[in-house]
Chain A
Amino acid sequence: MPCLFVLLLVVTSGCNQKPVDFVSNQLLSFRMERELREDLGGRSIEVANALRFAFGTPDLPKWPDILVESSRYHSLTDQKSLARASGPVGRNFDLVEVGLFRKQCAQCHGISGDGFGPTAALLDPYPRDFRRGTFKFKNAFYGTRPSVEDLIQTITFGVPGTSMPAMANLKRSKHYADDIPILARYVRFLAIRGEVERELMMDTIRDLDSEDVLFDTNLQETSPEAFKNGLRRINEVIIRVADRWMLSDGLKESQSQSPFNAFVARHDFAKSDLNSDSKSMAGNLFQESLESGRALFEGSIAACAQCHGKDGTGDPKWKDYDEWTKDWTIRAGINPMARAEWKPLKQLGLLKPVAAFPRNLTLQAYRGIPTIDNLPISDSSLHDSLPEKASAEETSSREDAPVLKHAKSSSRLAILRAVLNGIEGSPMPAAALAASTDGGLRDEQIMDLVRFVESLSNSTNSAPALTGGKAAGLAVLMGAGQ
């Protein structure tokens, strides 16, 4: 009887052994169909075939030939990482483990990196959709792609307060020590693939006449000229996308662009924290700095209070959506607040639109965990106060290494990075700086602002008192937690 039941369950739900393939971005087709007012069914099949031709399948992914052929993209097109990260989970006969992405990540991020894995609907925030190329937590500046080191950092330490797990434990054993950089490179692969799909759908097909075919393997024989033309178009997009990622590779260019990197290199500010500042700053300087910070926080240039509220707890009335949600709602002419409008899109892969709330800054909990390892700083004391570095080359096999160490001291860095670089994809902007904008913030003002934000969560300081029942609830919870 129970066995029968189990069998029934299996037959009814378990046995959908579809061939594994990357999923097409149906929401994108939907948006473009609305925009261009034409049926794009045929085009999206062409795009899907083109992508399969260029990038392979989840079981057998490959880098597009055009990238492999050029030595410029050498650091990008690492076939070994692809082979290890893709495919079904298991070990080969040579004992090499494969399928790392499906083992650790796909249940949330989806097999295509579309953030639509089975668990996605139950998580808040939703798992990242890599296909936009947009990442929140990185030393690289707003608008640029994360470096591999940025991705490694996220994967190693996770994103606190979200479902994104820390993989640091993998580094405990020499058998798994390479896994994190491999996964980071696979994330980059999925993102590039997704971006190519995006640009093909959003730009390339616009320029095509209705009789032009973007991609069809049959053309190779019937009309080699047309095939070549299509391929040229596709390769142009691939190169464009890859170049964007190459900018952050090797860090040289992105470093000089990133205000955060530049700031940390210019000042010792990151070395210290609020407590030592309060002792080391003479006279009223510390108090004045906090006051100036508060004024900036509430003022119109930084305008932090506009979103985070004057007390830093986050303005509950302030409602906006992140870029991933806006892509398929507001920008596709769908009102994210009207259930009847977005509901039909769920079949295409839309998750219920959820507002991206400004962070409650009184919690002293930051999701970004920056390091400055990648920066040209040779100050070991600074390094000591930071979470253990997660470099691509490091293959540590120290079994008892304290790999997961969320240093409190890094909260200053997290705030600093959020202010200077912004949090791309979320509504959190990068501050306007004096160096680039008239009336922007000067370095000292940035320091004041960061100190003030730190003080919001530091009860031992003359921080503005938390107000009302919220404070009581917080105190109770904090008491319960300690």
Chain B
Amino acid sequence: MSDYTASNFSAAVSGGKWVHRWSWAVALTIFPLIWVGGLVTTQDAGMAVPDWPGTYGYNMFAYPVSAWVYGPFDLMVEHGHRLLGSLAGFLVICLCIAAWIDEPRRWVRWLCVGLLAAIVAQGLLGGARVVFDARTLAMIHGCTGPLVFALAAAVVTVTSSWWKRDDKVLVSRGWFAWMTVGLFLATVVQLALGAQLRHIQPWASPGFFTSLVHTHLTMALLVLVMAIVVLAVSSTEQYRDLQGIRGLRLGIFGLLVVQILLGCGTWIANYALPLAGSAPILSRYTIEIQGYWESWIVTGHQATGSLIIVSALVFALRVWRQTKTTQQFDLSISHRPTQ
């Protein structure tokens, strides 16, 4: 931190402040959107509104508020998800405009456009799920949602002033950097498995579901182990000076612990306690459909999952920002005098 100087600060990319702010607005809208989307799945409310893009024949934005708020809960959740999604889309358009006006880096401008395309695709996917009444599309929509969230978080990261500052002590890339990418990908796989669990077709075979559950559990263990390795390696001598990852890696670890607890809670909320015969407390427990806490736990497991994906991506991006291959090292050293 202390070693950046006025000169290399000025070397950083200037401008783009508004891009950063809008990207925060987008990310902060997508997170609740993920929650509400999770609630749609928890409540099986995907078809609570039978048409799209309209809502019961109304223009989506003109659907009477009273019918929405005082209507059945599943309708409220589904319609709310659509409105919030529209808001996120609107904010991404603003982000793109800001990027085109204010962002000097061409690739960042296109990244913003990519985010817009992703969010439009996500919305269309959601619409197609309703129009074709296809659970498979709902599952894809559930998988790609967190990826859109991750993309938004990537925009936040690369438009931050920290990213743009050229004050980084670059260290050698090596397998550790790849491990961070691996962690991110593993969380994505875990998400895809979880989405299959959540969107299981009622005629799927017990064998298929059972193996999905076992894979999801094995993958949870793998993600945890990878996270511990990343955590341990990043605190070694070699990577001690990396910026912006100390809090993040603890965050990831904490989220994982919470996630595993929520996963167990999800199991209990959906399928009851194991070993019910072993104690009075356990044997008197009854699952409740649409219980208040049950909904929070199950939806929370899904939302925390997407938060883990996002953290893993931001972590990887930050590590990659501060590492270079040995080749790049040689180049930059040889070029430094002339820069």
Within 8 A of A (CB), among B186-223: 188-189, 192, 196, 200-210, 213
Cross-chain contact of A93 among B50, B189, B206, B276 (Cβ < 8 A): B50
Asked if residues B209 and A118 are in contact (CB atoms below 8 Å), the reply is yes
Q: Looking across the interface, which residue of chain B has its beta carbon closest to that of A117? A: B202
Asked if residues A15 and B136 are in contact (CB atoms below 8 Å), the reply is yes
Asked if residues A2 and B188 are in contact (CB atoms below 8 Å), the reply is yes
- Please, which residues of chain A bring their CB within 8 A of the CB of B290? 169-170
Q: Looking across the interface, which residue of chain A has its beta carbon closest to that of B146? A: A2
- Please, which residues of chain A bring their CB within 8 A of the CB of B289? 104, 165-167, 169-170
Q: Is A256 in the interface zone, CB < 8 Å from B?
A: no
A10 and B196 alpha carbons, distance in the complex (Å): 9
- Please, which residues of chain A bring their CB within 8 A of the CB of B48? 90-91, 97
Cross-chain contact of B204 among A91, A103, A118 (Cβ < 8 A): A118
Cross-chain contact of A122 among B196, B271, B276, B277 (Cβ < 8 A): B271
Q: Looking across the interface, which residue of chain A has its beta carbon closest to that of B276? A: A161
Interface centre among A6, A175, A351 (most CB of B within 10 A): A6
Cross-chain contact of A90 among B50, B147, B277, B286 (Cβ < 8 A): B50
With an 8 Å Cβ cutoff, the count of chain A residues facing the other chain is: 74
- Please, which residues of chain B bring their CB within 8 A of the CB of A161? 272-273, 276-277, 282-286
Asked if residues A14 and B196 are in contact (CB atoms below 8 Å), the reply is yes
Residues A365 and B283 in contact in the complex (CB < 8 Å), given A5-B192, A91-B50, A477-B278: yes
Cross-chain contact of A118 among B44, B201, B282, B285 (Cβ < 8 A): B201
Asked if residues B200 and A173 are in contact (CB atoms below 8 Å), the reply is no
Asked if residues B288 and A90 are in contact (CB atoms below 8 Å), the reply is no
Cross-chain contact of A121 among B56, B139, B206 (Cβ < 8 A): B206
- What's the nearest-Cβ distance from chain B to residue A311, in Å? 15
Within 8 A of A (CB), among B39-88: 44, 46-51, 56-57, 71-75
Asked if residues A157 and B47 are in contact (CB atoms below 8 Å), the reply is no
Residues A162 and B57 in contact in the complex (CB < 8 Å), given A2-B188, A93-B50: no
Q: Is B256 in the interface zone, CB < 8 Å from A?
A: no
- Please, which residues of chain B bring their CB within 8 A of the CB of A107? 200, 202
Q: Is A232 in the interface zone, CB < 8 Å from B?
A: no
Q: Is A409 in the interface zone, CB < 8 Å from B?
A: no
- Please, which residues of chain A bring their CB within 8 A of the CB of B72? 91, 95, 97, 173, 175-176
Q: Looking across the interface, which residue of chain A has its beta carbon closest to that of B280? A: A363
Asked if residues B133 and A119 are in contact (CB atoms below 8 Å), the reply is no
- What's the nearest-Cβ distance from chain B to residue A27, in Å? 14
Asked if residues A474 and B203 are in contact (CB atoms below 8 Å), the reply is no
- Please, which residues of chain B bring their CB within 8 A of the CB of A110? 202-203
Q: Looking across the interface, which residue of chain B has its beta carbon closest to that of A470? A: B278
Asked if residues A9 and B206 are in contact (CB atoms below 8 Å), the reply is no
Asked if residues A166 and B213 are in contact (CB atoms below 8 Å), the reply is no
A110 and B285 alpha carbons, distance in the complex (Å): 23
* 1/0 contact string of B137-150 vs chain A (CB within 8 Å): 00110011001000
Asked if residues B288 and A166 are in contact (CB atoms below 8 Å), the reply is yes
- What's the nearest-Cβ distance from chain B to residue A162, in Å? 6
Q: When A and B form their complex, which 10 residue pairs have the shortest distance between CB atoms, in order from nearest?
A: A90-B47, A481-B281, A106-B202, A365-B283, A118-B209, A175-B72, A477-B279, A121-B206, A165-B287, A161-B283
Chain B contacts to A: CB under 8 angstroms: 44, 46-51, 56-57, 71-75, 133-134, 136, 139-140, 143-144, 147, 185, 188-189, 192, 196, 200-210, 213, 271-273, 276-291
List, sorted by A's number, 21 A–B pairs whose CB atoms are closer than 8 Å.
Answer: A5-B185, A5-B192, A6-B144, A6-B188, A16-B201, A18-B203, A23-B203, A89-B44, A91-B47, A93-B56, A93-B57, A102-B202, A118-B201, A120-B206, A157-B286, A160-B286, A161-B283, A165-B286, A173-B73, A175-B71, A406-B286
